[in-house]
Amino acid sequence: MRHSLGWVIATVAIAAAVPEAMIIGLLNPHVARDWGDLDAVPKNRSRVHKSL
């Protein structure tokens, strides 16, 4: 399947068990850089990574 990040590869078992829309939906927060609630250390690492 295709996503704005590129190709999404899944095992045959996952592809059969999980609807494509759900897989894409799980990737969308990553695309939006929505990491949820993080403590101070991961937030700092995220900011450093974004600046690279």
pTM for this one?
Answer: 0.52
- Mean pLDDT of residues grouped by 10 in the chain (52 residues)? 75 93 85 72 56 50
Tell me what pLDDT residue 24 has.
85
Torsion of CA 46, 42, 21, 32, to 10 degrees: -30
Tell me what pLDDT residue 37 has.
73
Tell me what pLDDT residue 38 has.
64
**DSSP designation for 43:** H
Q: How many contiguous H segments (helices) and E segments (strands) does the chain have?
A: 3, 2
Tell me what pLDDT residue 26 has.
84
Tell me what pLDDT residue 12 has.
93
